[in-house]
Homo-oligomer: A and B are copies of this chain.
Amino acid sequence: MERRAALEEKPATTCQSKDWFQYQLKHQDKTTAARRGQFNTPHGAVQTPAFMPVGTQGTVKGLEIGMVRQTGAEMILGNTYHLSLRPGDDIVAELGGLHKFMGWDGPILTDSGGFQIFSLAQMRKITEKEAIFQSHIDGRKIHLSPERSIEIQENLGSDIAMVLDHVVELPNKPQVIREAMDRSIRWAQRCQAAAARNDQAQFAIVQGGLDEKLRVECAERLGALNFPGYAIGGLSVGEPPPEMYRILDATCPALPADKPRYLMGVGRPEDLLEGIRRGVDLFDCVMPTRNGRNALAFTDEGTVRLRNAKYQRDPAPLDPKSVPQVAGLSRAYLRHLFMAKEMLGPILLTLHNVAYYQRLMREARQVIEEDRFEAFYEEKMRGWASGG
């Protein structure tokens, strides 16, 4: 395939080195590791801690792009694996890149495909050179090397690209975990060497399973490679939450303090606050969108399962603090939409959930600035445990 068939025009804010990225620590919370920061991209700044809604196939499922903007999301995530299979990264490039393709002029981060090879692809085989697997759509054989992952992400034209990593199932043999970690580091270096666009920053991904020593080693070795940002990958794959928190406790301090930290694929509102208090700056997860489609709403009083018969005649709003499109509607109406299999149910609950996550991040940023994160964390945790 021709490399970057038709790259989008470089936006005016593009710089010729990656100095534009500039992570800035604005305030360090006094009692926890929570931190308030910012980084820049060619499509605007991102205030951290931040949560990225997932736009797997060039759309945040169920939301018109103006609704995504309305939730307050500053940055969204796109999927290299999905977009390269359909419509094809060459087509996205030809049409001006992912921003133009989907009508989103804010920052975009693309993942590398590493996680989808692990979770979706059939008959996968990992060699030192590349991953070889069958497409989950039509079964055709795909080769994905670190270089090809970066080529795809440069074709998509995202602001932040993730390096290709080797994700393994947990639990697993120590030797398998170490080998995957070592390979992930070598692949990160190959991604770094393959970068051709100056308007795209790369984040490395720390692997190492549930072994704190491996995680620290991986963080330090990647740290020495001077990436603009660092992700913690291979978590939230079925392990109990306390195991994840333990790994965060070990890994975050081992990462460069002057770079943003991104906890991939996480998670519940509880997990976000647990991550923030350990020094995580960036998150993504399908939870608000996927749960929204399944009639589960997040509120300060915990989750609300709107299919529950007890809401059949409930005139109360789902959440008076929700977006205007949802705040004026009764739980009975929202339940009706799901019972009647109407698209508007998933649309409204996705909108509510994504907005809920964004509000949580806004509040977190505020309380960190005011050194009140710990009290905020405890209040939120109490509310969520109280039952919706």
Contacts and interface: CB of A to CB of B under 8 A. Distances in A.
Interface string A332-357: 11001101101110111001000000
Contact of A342 (B61, B66, B344): B61
B57 A340 contact: yes
Nearest to A59: B344
A37 to B, nearest CB: 32
Contacts of A344: 59, 61-64
B64 A333 contact: no
Nearest to A293: B343
A328 interface: yes
Contacts of A313: 91, 94-95
A95 B311 CA distance: 12
Given A65-B325, A328-B103, A330-B101, A342 B59 contact: yes
A226 to B, nearest CB: 36
A351 B63 CA distance: 13
Interface in A105-145: none
A292 to B, nearest CB: 11
A290 to B, nearest CB: 12
Contacts of A312: 87, 91
B101 A343 contact: no
B329 A103 contact: yes
Contact of A315 (B59, B67, B95): B95
Given A64-B325, A342-B61, A344-B59, A333 B95 contact: yes
A267 interface: no
Nearest to A57: B340
A58 interface: yes
Nearest to A62: B343
A86 B341 CA distance: 11
Given A59-B344, A62-B347, 7 more contacts: A57-B336, A57-B342, A58-B336, A63-B344, A64-B351, A65-B325, A102-B333
Interface pairs A-B: 9 shortest CB-CB: A59-B344, A57-B340, A87-B336, A62-B343, A59-B342, A64-B325, A101-B333, A95-B332, A95-B315
5 contacts: A58-B336, A61-B342, A63-B344, A91-B312, A101-B333
